[in-house]
Amino acid sequence: EDVVSFTLHFAGHMSPIRLESDVHLRPVFELAIALLTAGAKIAHSPHLRARLSEVLFEVYLEPSFKPSRGDGRVAAGNGMAHGLLRVHPKAASELAPALLVLYGDVEQTGHEDKLMHRHRIARILKYLYTAGTDAHRQTFQRIAQDREGFVKFANGLMNEANSLVASCLSEILPEIRAFEQQQQDTTAWGRLSEQERTESNERHENNERMVAQKMLLCNDTMDMLTYMTSDKEIQKPFLLPELLPRLASMLLSVLVQLVGSRGLDIKVLNPEKYNFHPRDLVGQVCTTMANFAAYEAFQEAIPLTGYFNADLLPKTVKLVRKIRALAPAHLEALERLVESVNASHAQSADSEDRLGEAPEEFLDPVLYTIMDDPVLLPSGTIVNRPTIMQHLLNDPTDPFSRQPLSADQLVDAVDLKQRIEAWRRK
């Protein structure tokens, strides 16, 4: 803790050259890497490990990967310090997995601290992925091959994205727009009492502070999803049944906010002030969708989300073409995806019409859709495997009995599956 405090103090007050001469940067770097990779076994406190990631961010991360401070301060460290993240073998082989674990662990550090910790971690991860060597990229691919660990991380990432999008785009930005419109109506504003105006101003100032913090992390989260899923090895786990529906649902939920009829609700006067960049956000979502455009499973998952409507994706394509938010290759992939989704949606609707009403026992008790992989829970309830696997990612209990539950307790309902398949064929 003393080393962390000392390094951050001098990083904030010394010039890069003085810092290099007065602080031995390599040993501090190696200590931070060692403690982060050891994780909770040695550095029990997530607060301490979060502070170690702050040292990496402030001293060793290249300035181009940090947001503008806006206070005239010179970024700490120098070329030698910044190069350690790229060339040090421990950083290449062990740092990214440790940071992904820490990304989840900082949940315990408090809401506002968590936002900034995750922002810093996300920026370091992006540097390792995009500016690192082949060894760094191979480390990310190795992480994706750990199915259980990566599914847990990806689920947490999408939980974060959903929470931030709901908070910023559905709640805070609409409140800011309403305040701006209220102030523009001078007659209505003048009718308010002094206390009402004071309370309204205080709430607005709090909204401005919160949305600026949250949008910073929201941008990082969506960006992380975009660049990671550009790698085919990392795409694979996102196609698993426990992740794919959540991925499709999360992406469409953002498009509904930005492109759908609610778009006017978030049209604030100075979006950059709040780190809100609608064009970039649309581009990130659509690039991620383009990364998965060739997968039939992704094409079929989109119409099944609660956010799908026939006009949303064509409208999105027109918008991104107009504002040039996508590279040509990604735009072509998105256009092909829209065609495939429309065909899949029409085929699915036709299939449901032909199947008619399914027997009650064939339906998932949570989603009320026909099961394709039914499993028996210890409570005696039968559910679709993807449904219960998604539930277990966030809550390790049987939703029907509230007793502890793990994936190895699920029993294949073989007889029911055979009857469902026979009914479909008939």
- Could you report the per-residue pLDDT of 240-259, keeping only the tens digit for each? 998 999 999 999 999 999 99
Quick one: pLDDT at residue 375?
95
Query: How much of the chain exceeds pLDDT 90, in percent?
Result: 59
Residue 12: pLDDT band by 50, 70, 90 thresholds?
A: low
The answer to whether 140 touches 231, Cβ cutoff 8 Å, is yes
| pLDDT above 90 (res 369) | no
The answer to whether 53 touches 99, Cβ cutoff 8 Å, is yes
> Which residues are registered as beta bridge partners of 383?
375
Q: What is the number of other CB atoms lying within 10 angstroms of the CB of residue 406?
A: 9
> What pLDDT, in 10s, does the model give residues 146-189?
888 898 889 889 989 999 999 999 999 999 999 999 999 999 89
Mean pLDDT on 204-215: 96
Quick one: pLDDT at residue 97?
93
Quick one: pLDDT at residue 425?
83
Tokens, residue 145? 């091959």
| pLDDT above 80 (res 260) | yes
Cα 424 from Cα 67, distance rounded (Å): 54
Quote the Cα angle for 153-299-263, to 5°. Answer: 75
| pLDDT above 50 (res 105) | yes
The residues, any chain, with a CB within 8 Å of residue 123's CB and separated by 6 or more, are: 57, 61, 65, 66, 220
Q: Which residue did the predictor score with more confidence, 368 or 356?
A: 368
Quick one: pLDDT at residue 28?
85
Quick one: pLDDT at residue 414?
95
Quick one: pLDDT at residue 71?
40
> What pLDDT, in 10s, does the model give residues 22-46?
456 788 889 899 999 988 788 788 8
Q: How many helices (H) and strands (E) does the chain have?
A: 21, 3
Quick one: pLDDT at residue 284?
97
Cα 124 from Cα 116, distance rounded (Å): 13
Mean pLDDT on 45-56: 90
> What pLDDT, in 10s, does the model give residues 53-100?
999 998 889 888 987 654 434 444 444 577 889 889 999 999 999 999
Burial of 91 (C-beta count, 10 Å sphere; 0-12/13-18/19+): buried
Q: What is the number of other CB atoms lying within 10 angstroms of the CB of residue 194?
A: 7
Cα 198 from Cα 207, distance rounded (Å): 14
Quick one: pLDDT at residue 73?
43
> What pLDDT, in 10s, does the model give residues 298-328?
999 999 888 998 899 999 999 999 999 999 9
Burial of 357 (C-beta count, 10 Å sphere; 0-12/13-18/19+): exposed
Tokens, residue 65? 């990967």
Which is nearest to 319 in space by CA: 262, 271, 279?
A: 279
Query: How much of the chain exceeds pLDDT 70, in percent?
Result: 89
Average pLDDT score over the chain: 87
Mean pLDDT on 109-118: 85
Within 239-327, residue ranges assigned H as helices are: 244-259, 278-291, 296-301, 312-323
Question: Residue 74 gets which letter from DSSP?
Answer: P
pTM, two decimal places: 0.82
In SS3 terms, 323-350 reads as HCCCCHHHHHHHHHHHHHHHHHHHHHHH
| pLDDT above 80 (res 14) | no
Of 5-14, 16-25, 260-269, 283-292, which range is least confident?
16-25
| pLDDT above 60 (res 335) | yes
Quick one: pLDDT at residue 8?
65
Q: Are strands 382-384 and 411-412 parallel, antiparallel or unpaired?
A: unpaired
Which is nearest to 247 in space by CA: 266, 265, 234, 262?
A: 234
